[in-house]
Structure 1
Amino acid sequence: MTTAATAAALLPALGATASGAVPACSVAYTVANQWTGGFQGGVVVTNNAAPTTSWTLSFDFAAGQKVTQGWNATWTQSGTTVTAASLSYNGTIATGGQVSLGFLGSWTGGNPAPTAFKLNGVTCDEDGTPPTSPPTSPPTSPPTSPPTGPPGDTAPPKLHVSGNKLVDSTGKQVVLHGVNRSGTEFACAQGNGIFDGPVDDAAIDAITSWKGVNAVRVPLNEDCWEGLPYVPAADGGANYIAAITGWVDRLVAHGITPIVELHWTHGTYTGNSAGCSDVDATCQKPMPDAQYAIPFWTSVANTFKSNTSVVFDLFNEPYPDRATSTSEQAWTCWRDGGTCPGIGYQVAGMQSLLNAVRGTGATNVVLMGGLAYSNDLTGWLAHEPTDPTGNLGAAVHVYNFNTCSSASCWDSQLAPVAAKVPLVAGETGENTCAHSFVDSFMSWLDTHQLGYLGWTWNTWDCSSGPSLISSYDGTPTNYGLGLKNHLASLG
């Protein structure tokens, strides 16, 4: 919180009273849209003083206007005075930096621009031409339909969590729809390079040729990222990191939200449902190992923390429930890690992985799948880790062969989680080479305004993969046609 004394102390340094001096802050105020009784306002604040760690902007309406809804700040109003306070993700404004805010408001009779903008108690000069006030006799109908929300970021959006929604920097809800792009989790550990198929600009253009795709999930291999000795040098360590970073950067350049996730990990597990007996990251393990997974996420978070368009998915498909005796033991292992029944290595629980990410200063949205290969979310809310940034969401994987694969299960197990935190179906599909199941699941997700990504954008046998495409030019399989046509139908 900034006190009046703190604000006053800034004045000498700002030179705000000297003739011709740069003002402490500048404000551009606009009305983006206006209709009978309502309008959409925008405020861009430029900080010309010392950097802030938090801020409060205040201004006064002159004609009784009221703020009814706002984004990118906590908005309050007392009489004619409106106050917008910074949120956890935008409190810092560098010297010369800017922050953009927006709101919906009401008016009667007139809508002149507000006056007396102050940032942390210091008066700003208004920068820009005030909007033209509406006539005293308002029009009988709006020139355009009233907006349903803020205009939104340029793709890909800068994401954070608001309540149970993913939203962009303006507060507009973002629903992620897209595909998984497998290969980067296994090829490097098998001596087969880094990617399975092309990942150049043309390959991304093929993905975006499917109307409505705005996200691609990028699975990673822990040992390849860290360059363990058994991984070919050409495919591991700095070479792997550079290849993944280039892939993620290209996705962002094409307006795609990348979801970076840890898929194959270290640690010997030979218990129930073991995928392999190898200590190396050559298959899916029930939980990530503490020795390697915590440094992995520290490194990944440091690599991508400057871009909040990148989402982190901490661990692909946990299944400690296959190793433990009770569900409570499994959920405790999931959250807390350590020594878990049935698992012979020290486990990195979701809380410790999240701590590793947040310890770098990264505020990126983080997703966490539940038990039973991310198909079981029954204990997710009761064991939800603590996130100091509030940017935490849940992930679920749903296939036709999973236990939770019916609308009644989704209503009872997924809907309660989605009511509390953002929920993304990070993987969905069916192994029939048809799409009737995914059609029904996508329709259920649409009803709840939830996102989903199909498995997988690879040219495999769709009855065993399952695979969305038969060619990297985007030709869909019969199964993939379901996702392609469904996304196109959303408009």
Structure 2
Amino acid sequence: MFGARRNTRTVLGVALAGITVLATAVAPATAVAAETGCKVTYSVTGQWQGGFKADVAVTNLGAAVDGWKLRWEWPSGQQAGNAWNAKITESGGQVTAANVGQNARIASQATVKFGFTGIWDHANTAPLSFSLNGVTCVHGGKQLTATEQVAAMEPGWNLGNTLDSTGSEETSWGNPRITEELLDNVKAQGFRSIRLPVTWSAHLGQGPDFQIEPAYLARVEEVVRWALARDLYVLVNIHHDSWQWIWRMPAEHDLVRTRFDKIWTQLAGAFAEFGPRLTFESWNEPQFTGSTGKPQEIQLNNELNASFRDIVRRSGGNNATRLLVLPTLHTTSEQAYIDPVVEQIRGFGDPNIAATVHYYGYWPFSVNIAGGTRFDAGVQKDITDTFDRVHNSFIARGIPVILGEYGLLGFDRHTGTIEQGEKLKFFEYLGYYARTKKITTMLWDNGQHLGRTSFQWSDPQLFAQIKSSWTTRSGTAFTDQVFNAKSSDITAKTIALNLNGTSFSGLYNGNIALTRGRDYTVDGDRLTLTASALTRLSGSRGYGTNAVLTAKFSQGVPWRFYVITHDTPVLSGATGTTAKFEIPTAFRGDQLATMEAKYDDGTFAGPNDWTSFKEYDRTFTPNYPDGKTTLTPDFFGAVKDGQRVTLTFHYWSGAKVTYYVTKSGGAVTGTTA
């Protein structure tokens, strides 16, 4: 079934003294070995810098054994030293503990014990897998409840656009191969779990077996072992297969079902010996095409979830109690899609099941369309309504929930679609509210956040806000921009603070504390920057950011204010084509928030003609260094030929500038108002 699949080695970290690791066998025996396997208790009973002491108890669960060898591999480069009640030999990280004369025989259900000292360097991770006379003793480990395990997985991170790429290589979508160093850095950032999305379609043989390519399966196993060796929880799934072939299930029911079942049969077998820190997710973002409607789609999702659970549970070993994760249709949090999964999970009577949904925010804000530029009450309400539904439907009924992906949809292109301060407020509140509702979060990262080789965050301020939200709240403000028009005298500016349960403690320019009463005043949740302070901070008043102030609160991360000198932007006439049209723009220190598009009769122009406010970056985008504003082919593709379009550019300072464009075939002309 699994072809040339190599012998696996898996690891689950135990670095503290006194932690016990259990192992229970399900593998068939050889003629010499105990036919039902073995149980191993491995305990680190003492540990000091560079050294440790371990005790091992081996219970024979099969027929009597006369002469035994227990084998394991070191996951963290340890070495065994002096042993008692066993003879230990070691080669290349592989350890063999053999009996001595007095304990060669292990009767059925009897236990033999031995111990040893060892040395370690960067980690002292316990072995995952043991074998007794060639029979695998499947790693058990401490069995947490589903709720305890999901809580222990907080926070999580997605290793996206890599093993889930739809090409033949994990590098097909532009990310480098996964390395152990990457996983070291992920753990160092504070993440406790990794969601490992995997797309299998490019690595499957023909039916009826649909054998997974052995080298690809071995690669997935390798990455899982690396993560488990770092004490990380791991979630493996079927990912983009969802929209490649599973979604055709309404028309190709039996073929899809067979293929799906064959994949999970192979995965269940391949990972049966892996410890409980490995979790399986049925499939990603369930969706169907050509169905008779949502009731059929719900039924098909339930069918696949049920088959997944049945296959894994029947495979035995650790899979008999492994945590399994079931998605709602589309992994949405709508009540109509939550309820069927609640009913299904409760019907299973299986205590080791969790549910999963995804969340990318209130859509107008998430992609910056329809004027959704600010983290306002509507965006906040979408978070609370969503997480309340999830909590009340699942968690309150004892079913834990993993937010398998979260972020903003605008991140699919770059992280600048949403203004920085508004983006930070969104993630501050999302992390806080998910925590209060006991929802475990897994940040979606397709390579745009944590550099896969630099190991640096593309937006350190964003990650600092996310990380802080795991444990506490942070103070924010209505805005992070303080605009002063260069054409006018500087006046005092008052900004509303969002204290979020904190108290304001001070305002700084770099390391220099500003003086309360002279440079600023605070009245409840109102911060006022004095005209004299802003004048001093603005210096020669060149366009753009003149100073960055930091507001500190009693807890959480500080909030930044950018003191900006600006004047109303100036746009110039232009000619171009629908494929490339750029408006010369002197931004003069200002920043573009959104754009409206209307015909002369007042109707809305461009894509999504239900709103005058167009989608940021999808239809228009600023280029500040080059002094251009680009209108995209997507925008012109939905503009009527020969009809003038009035564009209104809205800037963060509050300025509005009108501009006109007319499309004539493939040519575009732009004029100023």
TM (norm. structure 1) is: 0.54
Q: CA deviation digits over 1:76-121, x for unaligned, max 9?
A: xxxxxxxxxxxxxxxxx964389xxxxxxxxxxxxxxxxxxxxxxx
Q: Does 1:310 align with 2:287?
A: no
Q: How is 1:293-332 mapped onto 2 (pairs within 5 angstroms)?
A: 293-307=260-274, 308-320=276-288, 324=291, 326-332=293-299
Q: Distance in 2 between matches of 1:248 and 1:418?
A: 28
Task: Name which of structure 1's ranges 173-182 and 237-246 shifts more when overlaid on structure 2.
Answer: 173-182
Q: Does 1:166 align with 2:148?
A: yes
1:262 alignment counterpart: 238
Report if the CA contact (8 A) 2:339-2:393 is conserved: no
Query: Against the structure 1 CA distance between its residues 435 and 195, is the aligned structure 2 distance closer, same or farther, given a 3 Å change threshold?
Result: same
Shift of 1:208: 1.6
Q: Distance in 2 between matches of 1:268 and 1:217?
A: 21
2:534 alignment counterpart: none
Q: Does 1:367 align with 2:303?
A: no
1:253 alignment counterpart: 229
2:393 alignment counterpart: 416
Q: CA deviation digits over 1:413-441, x for unaligned, max 9?
A: 44320122121111111135334323322
Report if the CA contact (8 A) 2:285-2:331 is conserved: yes
1:449 alignment counterpart: 438
Q: Distance in 1 between matches of 2:439 and 2:174?
A: 29
Query: Against the structure 1 CA distance between its residues 353 and 446, is the aligned structure 2 distance closer, same or farther, given a 3 Å change threshold?
Result: same
Shift of 1:383: 2.7
Shift of 1:176: 2.7
Q: Distance in 1 between matches of 2:255 and 2:455?
A: 35
Secondary structure of the residue aligned to 1:442 is: helix
2:409 alignment counterpart: 431
Match of 2:238, as an amino acid? L
- The structure with more radius of gyration: 2
From 337, 344, 351, the equivalent of 1:390 is 351
2:310 alignment counterpart: 355
2:478 alignment counterpart: none
Number of residue pairs aligned between Structure 1 and Structure 2: 320
Secondary structure of the residue aligned to 1:302 is: helix
Q: Distance in 2 between matches of 1:204 and 1:356?
A: 30
From 464, 467, 475, the equivalent of 1:484 is 467
Match of 2:307, as an amino acid? S
Q: Distance in 1 between matches of 2:392 and 2:382?
A: 13
Query: Against the structure 1 CA distance between its residues 240 and 488, is the aligned structure 2 distance closer, same or farther, given a 3 Å change threshold?
Result: farther
1:80 alignment counterpart: none
Q: Which is strand-richer, 1 or 2?
A: 2
Match of 1:247, as an amino acid? V
From 364, 373, 384, the equivalent of 1:407 is 384
Q: How is 1:227-246 mapped onto 2 (pairs within 5 angstroms)?
A: 227=205, 237-246=213-222
Report if the CA contact (8 A) 2:281-2:326 is conserved: yes
Report if the CA contact (8 A) 2:194-2:233 is conserved: yes
Shift of 1:400: 1.1
Shift of 1:225: 4.3
Q: Distance in 2 between matches of 1:287 and 1:378?
A: 26
Report if the CA contact (8 A) 1:219-1:262 is conserved: yes
Q: Does 1:96 align with 2:111?
A: yes
Unaligned 5+ residue runs, structure 1? 1-24, 28-43, 53-92, 99-152, 273-278, 280-285, 337-348, 461-466
Q: Distance in 2 between matches of 1:329 and 1:309?
A: 34
Match of 2:447, as an amino acid? T
Q: Distance in 2 between matches of 1:178 and 1:385?
A: 26
Query: What's the RMSD between the two structures over aligned residues?
Result: 4.6
Secondary structure of the residue aligned to 1:427 is: strand
Match of 1:260, as an amino acid? V
Shift of 1:298: 1.0
Q: Does 1:217 align with 2:195?
A: yes
Unaligned 5+ residue runs, structure 2? 1-38, 42-54, 64-107, 114-124, 129-139, 365-380, 416-422, 474-555, 557-673
Shift of 1:374: 3.9
Secondary structure of the residue aligned to 2:194 is: strand
Q: CA deviation digits over 1:265-285, x for unaligned, max 9?
A: 25275899xxxxxx9xxxxxx
Q: Distance in 2 between matches of 1:459 and 1:429?
A: 13
Q: Distance in 2 between matches of 1:443 and 1:155?
A: 36
Q: Distance in 2 between matches of 1:95 and 1:402?
A: 62
Q: Distance in 2 between matches of 1:489 and 1:94?
A: 50
Percent of aligned positions that are identical: 14
Report if the CA contact (8 A) 1:198-1:472 is conserved: no
Q: CA deviation digits over 1:195-228, x for unaligned, max 9?
A: 83242121112212212x1101111112244346
Task: Name which of structure 1's ranges 444-453 and 249-258 shifts more when overlaid on structure 2.
Answer: 444-453
Match of 2:437, as an amino acid? H
Query: Against the structure 1 CA distance between its residues 271 and 333, is the aligned structure 2 distance closer, same or farther, given a 3 Å change threshold?
Result: closer
Q: Distance in 2 between matches of 1:155 and 1:488?
A: 32
